[in-house]
């Protein structure tokens, strides 16, 4: 996954607090605040937010990407861990030792970096 400016912005605040002057070119130069946004109860309010600086955006996108890239082991583990259904069956069948063996094999295959 490659993070974008928009990915960073949606993590800053909830709601439609920003928009683009050119939707086909979503770069900082085309970023603007929406003057009015919806609040949690469905009413409209003046946008209380301000735009982050371009450097804050650049740093924020980089931080998201670094975090994602650093968790490759976690995503790989998730794909190979026993399913919830398998875990429930292990609990009900009193077979937790076998379940832990499976989980440890995945952890050994994808160690934390």
Kindly tell me if the per-residue pLDDT of 82 is higher than 90.
yes
Which pLDDT band holds residue 92 (cuts at 50, 70, 90)?
very high
Calculate Rg over the CA atoms of the chain. Answer: 22
**Residues 37/15, Cβ–Cβ less than 8 Å:** yes
Of 33-47, 49-63, 91-105, the least confident: 33-47
DSSP-assigned beta bridge partners for residue 18: 33
pLDDT of residue 75: 87
Kindly tell me if the per-residue pLDDT of 20 is higher than 90.
yes
Q: Which whole-number Å values give the CA distances from 31 to 5, 20, 64, 103, 111, in the listed order?
A: 10, 5, 19, 45, 40
pLDDT of residue 19: 97
Domain boundaries, the chain: 5-69, 72-109
Which pLDDT band holds residue 63 (cuts at 50, 70, 90)?
very high
pLDDT of residue 43: 86
Q: Which whole-number Å values give the CA distances from 25 to 4, 5, 60, in the listed order?
A: 12, 11, 19
pLDDT of residue 40: 75
Which tokens belong to 27?
């770069």
Task: State mean pLDDT over 86-109.
Answer: 93
Q: What pTM was estimated for this model as a whole? A: 0.69
Q: CA 11: distance to chain centroid? A: 8
pLDDT of residue 38: 84
42: left (phi over 0), alpha (psi -120 to 50) or beta: left
Which tokens belong to 36?
């009015």
């Amino acid at each position: 996954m490659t993070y974008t400016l928009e990915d960073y912005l949606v993590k800053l605040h909830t709601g439609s607090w920003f928009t683009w002057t050119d939707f086909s070119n979503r770069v900082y130069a085309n970023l603007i605040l929406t003057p009015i946004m919806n609040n949690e109860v469905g009413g409209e309010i003046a946008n209380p937010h301000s735009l982050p600086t371009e450097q804050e955006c650049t740093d924020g996108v980089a931080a998201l990407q670094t975090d994602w890239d650093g968790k490759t082991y976690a995503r790989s583990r998730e794909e190979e861990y026993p399913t919830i259904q398998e875990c429930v069956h292990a609990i009900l069948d009193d077979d937790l030792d076998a379940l832990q063996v499976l989980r440890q094999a995945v952890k050994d295959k994808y160690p934390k970096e």
